[in-house]
Amino acid sequence: MTTVRHSVCALDCPDTCSLLINVDEAGQGSKLRGNPDHPVTRGFLCGKVARYLEREYHPDRLLYPLRRRGPKGEAQAEWERIGWNEALDTIAAKLKQTSDEFGPEAILPYSYAGTMGTLQGSSMDRRFFHRLGASRLDRTICSSTGGAALMLSQGAKLGMEPEQFVHAKLIIAWGANVLGTNVHLWPFIVEARRRGAKFWVIDPVKNRTGRAADRHFAVNPGSDLALALGLAHIILKNGWEDRRYIDAHTAGFADYEKLSADYTPDRVAEWTGLCACEIEEIARVYAQTKPAAIRLNYGVQRSERGGAAVRAVAALPVLTGQWRHEGGGLQLSTSGGFQFNRAGLEQPDLQKLSPLGREARLINMTELGAELLERTAPPVKALVVYNSNPAAIAPNSARVVAGLKRRDLFTVVLEQFLTDTADYADIVLPVTTFLEHTDLYLAYGHYYLQMARPALPAPGEAKSNVEIFRLLAKRMGFREPCFDDSEDDMIRQALASESPFLEGITLERLEREHSVRLSISQQGVPFLPFADGGFATPVGKFEFGAEALKYAPAAESRFGSAELKLRFPLELISSKNDDSMNSTFGHRAEVDAQTGVAEINPVDAAARGIMDGDAIRLRNDRGQYFCRARVAVHAKPGVVRVPSTRWAKTAPGGLGVNQLTSSRLTDIGGGATFYSCLVEAELAQPTESR
């Protein structure tokens, strides 16, 4: 008999879908689909996860612990299968030795959101590393800049509910590839349009979403700060602002008004590449259409002034009082609604019991290459990677790889597949997928909290991250009771929070209902986070923060360093591939085909003798990337777009696109600047794939 089980998609996506899967008596899964009863999933999945069972049952899934035999970095390295006892003993002995010899901070955990599960991502693992006294990781690779911006301006990472978008009469996707990266917002946009709403896109690239929009505004990369201030300039000049809302709920307005006075349409036109008339039009329509919604996504903050840009965009619904209306406001993230008891889950106080006896140093994950190659006192001598594939996805990857190749670095990788990073491991541990373990899920694109139980049995000897760190803790001799906690214990601890948003939500209720709307408003009443102020900054008001908002072009941009611009005249945007998820589907051949291209404008292609389909090379001082040219107007002149990312090992020469990107940090939040990157393109045959 086939039963239908519930699960949750754990991939790093705002939609956090509720899944249904058919499971037969032997535990074999079939027919994965979106839960029709979930208010945001609405019965469909994205293309990449609709086929997730292909990955689940893939012959290359890791099933047993492995020890390296060959040299580091060889994709075809010989691996020796070992037992769990031997693997865990080896790791524990090596971590002890490292800690004794160099101090515990010589150990570095490296993880991100390979699973968004709260337990598999930030519970037992954190306890383990805190108790060790290992270096702490500053998880900056994705959203820390935008997050810091929202915290400074709004005091909370809260935004519109997706359900409210249907009420908007104008929706602007601002650096947000909704159809590619957030497809469950789309039905709400479709419904809004059916009711007469306009849908506009602000993006240097006319991607899938831009092509489906009523209007597309091709801004220069990194110029959003200037654009947002330019819109404010026009709105204020015409008196279209909402004075009542500003007076009641904001701080620093006078300085902001003064600053925006400098951002005249003509100047902003120059910086953004839009014409002054377009800027005037956006300002007028946005200010005069109530309600208007902005879907801002993380594309905008991946450049040097990305934090200021997010703050300036977030100021627009405040300036115009859009927040007062159902269907008005902005969504960048909803994750601030999920106010778990983090201290209970992660137990940072365990650091006091470590040999260090204090809080450990913080290492920025975006700077992994330099950290592995240059850090001293102590150097990083042991690296434990899980939920991430830094050899492919971290910027300036030539440096990352050089670090991973160090023979004196002991590297453990917890993985489902032999990724680029696993190729540099000393020990690889096989882990479960989200279909195989228990977890608790927040979301960053809606307000439903979900729990999933294992729907399928773990294959081979795969174990979950939680289980592995629990076993390692025993091996290290850690006796604190928190290392005995079960998954259910930890879910209860996470929910034991003072937050009113979690009121009435228990493990038992999650078990029954699978998905529970946070207690953000009464049943049937829309959640309007800032309709009546309610900003959570120290002063309780929206902080315009004018002192931090002055526009300056990024060093690596068309208005940046003249010397660089001369040698590398094209701006590279290596934004998300529509049909994969970072490097997670790197084993799929079609992902290589999709990501192995560079979209280049006909003007730029012609100037270089490049024709559609030609083998080309993108290069700068950091590295090179071989791919095929797709000559198309999708990328505006001066911009090259590479859909990202893939496994580097299946790319020509074993070189991924992050050979080109820089590890320079953003203005706030210590974030990565993937989209501030200058390159040159030229005809070139790819070198052999390794």
Task: Tell me the C-alpha distance between 576 and 297, whole Å.
Answer: 12
Task: Tell me the C-alpha distance between 513 and 525, whole Å.
Answer: 20
Cβ 666 to ligand SF4 shortest distance, Å: 25
**Strand-by-strand arrangement of the 66-68 sheet:** 79-81, 66-68, 427-430, 410-415, 382-386, 107-111
Asked whether position 228 contacts ligand MGD by CB under 6 A, the answer is no
Cβ 145 to ligand MGD shortest distance, Å: 11
Nearest in space to 447 (alpha carbons), one of 162, 90, 62, 132: 162
CB closer to ligand SF4, 9 vs 385: 9
CA-to-CA dists, residue 237 to 21, 232, 304, 564, angstroms: 56, 8, 29, 38
Cβ 125 to ligand MGD shortest distance, Å: 9
CB within 8 A of 432, min separation 6: which ones? 416, 454, 458, 462, 463, 464
Site string for ligand MGD, 370-409 (x = CB under 6 A): ----------------xxxx--xx----------------
Asked whether position 9 contacts ligand SF4 by CB under 6 A, the answer is yes
Asked whether position 554 contacts ligand MGD by CB under 6 A, the answer is no
Bond before 411 cis per omega within 30 degrees: no
Tell me the one-letter amino acid at 508. E
Asked whether position 314 contacts Mo ion by CB under 5 A, the answer is no
Please choose which of ligand MGD, Mo ion, ligand SF4, none residue 624 contacts, taking the beta carbon within 5 to 8 angstroms, the exact cut-off set by kind.
none
Asked whether position 431 contacts ligand MGD by CB under 6 A, the answer is yes
Two tokens, residue 261: 């006075």
Please choose which of Mo ion, ligand SF4, ligand MGD, none residue 112 contacts, taking the beta carbon within 5 to 8 angstroms, the exact cut-off set by kind.
ligand MGD
Please choose which of ligand SF4, Mo ion, ligand MGD, none residue 515 contacts, taking the beta carbon within 5 to 8 angstroms, the exact cut-off set by kind.
none
Size of the site for ligand SF4 (CB under 6 A): 12
CB closer to Mo ion, 142 vs 315: 142
Residue 685 CB-half CA count within 13 A: 2
Q: Which of residues 184-203 bind ligand SF4 (CB under 6 A)?
A: 184
CB closer to ligand SF4, 142 vs 229: 142
- Part in contact with Mo ion (CB under 5 A); list of ranges 101-109, 135-143, 178-186, 631-639: 135-143
How many Å separate Cα 503 from the centre of its chain? 28
Helix (H/G/I), strand (E/B), else coil: 256: helix
Task: Tell me the C-alpha distance between 363 and 670, whole Å.
Answer: 11
Q: Which of residues 388-447 bind ligand SF4 (CB under 6 A)?
A: none
Size of the site for ligand MGD (CB under 6 A): 60
Site string for ligand MGD, 567-586 (x = CB under 6 A): ------xxxxxx-xxxxx--
Asked whether position 648 contacts ligand SF4 by CB under 6 A, the answer is no
CB closer to Mo ion, 444 vs 501: 444
Asked whether position 672 contacts Mo ion by CB under 5 A, the answer is no
- CA triple 143-582-487, angle to 5 deg: 75
Task: Tell me the C-alpha distance between 496 and 374, whole Å.
Answer: 42
Instruction: List % helix, strand, coil for the chain (3-state, nearest 5).
Output: 35, 20, 45
How many Å separate Cα 60 from the centre of its chain? 26
- Part in contact with ligand MGD (CB under 6 A); list of ranges 156-164, 201-209, 330-338, 489-497: 201-209
Please choose which of Mo ion, ligand SF4, ligand MGD, none residue 154 contacts, taking the beta carbon within 5 to 8 angstroms, the exact cut-off set by kind.
none
Most distant CA pair in the chain: distance in Å? Answer: 72
Asked whether position 15 contacts ligand SF4 by CB under 6 A, the answer is yes
Say how many Å lie between the first and final Cα of the chain, rounded.
Answer: 47
Site string for ligand MGD, 21-50 (x = CB under 6 A): ------------------------------
- Buried/exposed code over 94-124 (b: 16+ C-beta within 10 A; e: otherwise): bbeebbeebbbbbbbbbbbbbbbbbbbbbbb
Nearest in space to 47 (alpha carbons), one of 6, 7, 9: 9
Please choose which of ligand SF4, Mo ion, ligand MGD, none residue 203 contacts, taking the beta carbon within 5 to 8 angstroms, the exact cut-off set by kind.
ligand MGD
DSSP annotation of 450: E
Taking CB under 6 A as the criterion, the residue among 56, 125, 163, 203 binding ligand MGD is 203
Q: Which of residues 559-598 bind ligand SF4 (CB under 6 A)?
A: 581
- Part in contact with ligand SF4 (CB under 6 A); list of ranges 6-14, 65-73, 187-195, 357-365: 6-14
**Strand-by-strand arrangement of the 439-441 sheet:** 439-441, 448-452, 515-517
Site string for ligand SF4, 32-61 (x = CB under 6 A): -------------xx--x------------
Cβ 88 to ligand MGD shortest distance, Å: 15
CA-to-CA dists, residue 369 to 78, 375, 616, 658, angstroms: 26, 10, 27, 12
CB closer to ligand SF4, 335 vs 673: 335
Task: Tell me the C-alpha distance between 480 and 130, whole Å.
Answer: 12
Cβ 380 to ligand MGD shortest distance, Å: 18
Taking CB under 6 A as the criterion, the residue among 41, 465, 601, 620 binding ligand MGD is 465
DSSP alpha helix (H) spans, 212-322: 224-237, 243-249, 253-260, 265-272, 276-288, 306-314, 316-319
Please choose which of ligand SF4, ligand MGD, Mo ion, none residue 49 contacts, taking the beta carbon within 5 to 8 angstroms, the exact cut-off set by kind.
ligand SF4
Taking CB under 6 A as the criterion, the residue among 107, 119, 183, 573 binding ligand SF4 is 183
Asked whether position 12 contacts ligand MGD by CB under 6 A, the answer is yes
CB-CB contact of 24 with 2 (8 Å): yes
Task: Tell me the C-alpha distance between 166 and 171, whole Å.
Answer: 9
Taking CB under 6 A as the criterion, the residue among 90, 99, 303, 620 binding ligand MGD is 303
Q: Which residues lie near Mo ion (CB under 5 A)?
A: 142
Q: Which residues lie near ligand MGD (CB under 6 A)?
A: 12-13, 112-115, 120, 141-142, 174-177, 180-181, 202-205, 207, 219, 221-222, 224, 297-300, 303, 386-389, 392-393, 414-417, 419, 431, 465, 573-578, 580-584, 644-645, 657-658, 661, 674-675
Q: Which residues lie near ligand SF4 (CB under 6 A)?
A: 9, 11, 13, 15-17, 45-46, 49, 183-184, 581
